[in-house]
Chain A
């Protein structure tokens, strides 16, 4: 079956630090890949996406590149802010179904 593996959290960073959250996937086809963010008490918001190999998704300073050879879609940001504190979910879309990772909590401190 399809699955998504994310790095364990929580990840604690100081403001302006560099962020990487690792995500790898297993899929029986060629999925689209997504990062969603969930702020406390809220639903999921789409952060960025990539639909084919070597695509780079980007939004609000976050980036992720679809790496088919390593089946990865790592999330990066050059300089995090306190407002980026949230839970981040990597997900793949295949056959009408989104499959999510378990989420990585990011805590950014001043």
Chain B
């Protein structure tokens, strides 16, 4: 079974540019969440999507946006890149809405390493 797949694995962008990161969840999973992990820190929640609707948003500026497609894959978009956006961006998929439901688990992809120069 394929796990959560993210693309690209690495990329380098210049300040002010725009970037799109992609995530394909595990087959059958309807929920996708995005996290930012700055070097040496724990992941920080950015968004959760379930059934193509935004169900949660973390404390990130409006430069960050996302969407989920009918096949449950997702894109994370970041506009006007700053040096501080350099991080590992992680996508997690779950079978159901990622709430405090018993048994709900998030499965993470290997991430996209974004470097802004």
Which chain A residues have a beta carbon within 8 Å of chain B's beta carbons? Answer: 4, 29-32, 36, 41-46, 49, 51, 89, 91, 93-103
In the complex, the number of residue pairs spanning A and B with C-beta atoms less than 8 Å apart equals: 69
- Interface size of B by CB at 8 A reads 29
Question: Which residues of B lie under 8 Å from residue A96 when comparing CB positions?
Answer: 48, 55-56, 97-99
Q: Using known A-B contacts A98-B43, A100-B43, A103-B42, determine if residue A45 contacts B108 with beta carbons closer than 8 Å.
A: yes
Question: Which residues of A lie under 8 Å from residue B40 when comparing CB positions?
Answer: 102-103
Contact call A46/B58, Cβ cutoff below 8 A = no
Q: Using known A-B contacts A44-B90, A95-B56, determine if residue A89 contacts B98 with beta carbons closer than 8 Å.
A: no
Given contacts A42-B110, A43-B90, A96-B48, 7 further A-B contacts (CB under 8 A): A29-B100, A31-B100, A43-B109, A44-B92, A51-B102, A96-B99, A97-B58
Min C-beta distance of B98 to chain A, whole Å = 5
Min C-beta distance of B69 to chain A, whole Å = 20
